[in-house]
Structure formats: structure tokens, C-alpha cells
Structure 1
Amino acid sequence: MTGVFYDCAGDRTVAMSRAIRRAVAFIESSFAQPVSLATLAGTAGLSVSRFATLFRKEVGISPHRYVCLVRIQHAKRLLRDGVPPCEVAAEVGFFDQSHLGRHFRRAVGVTPGHFVASPESGSAFR
């Protein structure tokens, strides 16, 4: 499995349970849609509280943060391809460009505009 999970886990060797793998796969395929904790817990076959605890333990971040990181990963690709930030926001599931900008800056360290303008956008801000 590839995706944001390995970026979050770093060098840790983490064995994800089948339930969390199902939730991660669901997030990876449905990131642009609203994803509730209850939906993710149902996908994993766990209660909401058990799911949230197990997800954080196995992935290292909260489910919400993981969804945001998946969205940011896809936003970076679209921005590199020349898609305007306002379209990127809608495409990856953020409410608006401002919402994208806040989460993007928190995750990447620069705004989407600076990311696009930077000659290193292909490498330094991964």
C-alpha cells in the first residue's frame, strides 16, 4: 500500500490492523468527499471511540489529520499541473480556497501560491 500513511509513519515499522487498512483505503479513494468519523469507524467495523484510538495508535495521527494530508498530497499534484488554487480546493474536498490555504500552509510550510511560484515545488516541498 502506498500513500500518505508511509509519509506519516516515517521510518517506523508499523503493522496496520485489517480494520485500519480498510479505513485508510477508504480515505485514499474518497478523500474529496466529506468523510465522517462515524463513516470511517463503520468501514473499519469498530465503534467510533475504538476506531479513533486505534487509528491514532497505528497511524500516528488522528483520522481527520490523515484525511487533510491525503487532500494536501493531491492538491500539490494538481497545483504542479497548473490547476488554479480555487479549483484545487474544490477538487480535493476543501470547502474553499481559504480552507485549502490554511491546511496547506500548516502541512507544507508555505501557501499554495508560494508553492506554485517556487522553483523547488517539485522537490523541496514534498
Structure 2
Amino acid sequence: MNPQSVNSNQPCPAVRPLGALSSWQERRAKELMLRDLGRCVRISEIAEHCNLSRSHFSRAFKKITGHSPQGWLVMMKIEKAKSLLITSMPITDVVYECGFADHSHFTRTFSRLEGITPTAWRRAFDHATSHPVQPPVIDRDLPDWRIRNNLIGGMGQSRSQELRVVN
């Protein structure tokens, strides 16, 4: 029985789940994976450095991070790519700097994880930084506002809802 569970109903953040990587294993694994994102890193090599089998390492890593080692590594590559996309570096250079095989592989992966292509993401970031969004100006001098919303009911009848806001 865990001594922490006897003293409290709240889980202690320092207690790791059973079967998870220890803190030194997690730190070492992440350092090895992040050391050179452009190089193909083998999960078996990382597991070896953590003194675990490949399958046990993969299960323990997922318990700690919520992602498989390969999935976590891909997410880190995309995060690095986003940090490079905000610079003027050509996308082709970003692809190889982050360790993707080719441009189409990068675009597919980026789009799957971010929901937008790298080019569109860069454009949106550039637009957001060059044109800060101004909050809308509301004229409070008007006595009231009316918002009409015509809803069509199930029988084909039109209903009107009116919202009246008074200052």
C-alpha cells in the first residue's frame, strides 16, 4: 500500500504511477531524443540507456508522458518546426532541420497535428504579429440594441427572437 494514500485522498504530484519511468530515466530519454532531432534515433537505443527493454521502456514512457516515444518525438519535431517557421528560414530548410524525410512528409504530419499547413501557419503567424487585433468598439450612447435571429421551426414556421440590451 502506498503510504501517501493512507494520509491523503489527494494524489501527491511527486508519486509516479506504477510501472512508469523514474525521473532520471525520463530525463535521460528526453535528452537523448531531443539531442539531435535531425538524426534517426532508435527507441531500442534509448531503452538501453535507461536499462530497460524496448517494450517496457515504451509502456513506461507512455505512462509518464501520455504519448508513445515516437509520438512524443514527432510532437517535439513539430514544436521545433513552429519555432523555425516564425523566422525567415525557408520551409525546405525547416523540413530537414527537424528531421523529416521530405517536404510532403513534413506537411502531412504538421497538418495532422496542427490542423493547418505549415505555409498557412506561417502566414497566420505573420499576419497576427504584423496586424494586432483591435477589440471592437461599442457605442454605448445608443439607447438599446436589438438582435433579431430568425429561426425556422420544425413545421416550417418562422419565429423571431429578440434580445434587448439596455445600458
Other-structure match for 1:24: 30
Q: How many Å apart are 1:73 and its aligned residue?
A: 0.9
5+ residue gaps, structure 2: 1-12, 130-167
Q: Which residue of 1 aligns with 2:75?
A: 69
Name the structure where helix makes up a greater proportion of residues. 1
Q: What is the deviation of 1:81?
A: 0.4
Give the TM-score of the pair, scaled to structure 1: 0.79
Of 121, 125, 150 in structure 2, the residue corresponding to residue 115 of structure 1 is: 121
* Structure of higher RCO (CA pairs closer than 8 Å, 6+ residues apart): 1
Aligned to 1:28, the other structure's residue is in SS state: helix
1:22-50: per-residue Cα shift (whole Å, max 9, x none)?
A: 10111122222101111121122210010
What is the CA–CA distance in structure 2 between the aligned matches of 1:111 and 1:49, rounded to whole Å?
33
- Please tell me the root mean square deviation across aligned C-alpha atoms, in Å: 1.7
1:35-79 alpha-carbon deviations (Å, 9 max, x no partner): 111112112221001000000111100000111111111111111
Q: Once the 2 structures are TM-superposed, how far is the Cα of residue 120 of structure 1 from its aligned partner?
A: 3.7
Tell me if 1:49 matches 2:55.
Answer: yes
Calculate the TM-score normalised by the size of structure 2. 0.61
Asked if structure 1 preserves the Cα contact closer than 8 Å seen for 2:37 and 2:97, the reply is: no
Alpha-carbon distance between aligned partners in 2 of 1:97 and 1:43, rounded to the nearest angstrom: 32
Higher normalized strand content (fraction of residues): 2
The Cα offsets for residues 87-122 of structure 1, whole Å up to 9 and x where unpaired, read as: 11101100011111111112211110101111248x
Of all paired residues, the percent bearing the same amino acid is 31
Amino acid in structure 2 at the alignment position of 1:34: C
Specify the SS of the correspondent of 2:74.
helix
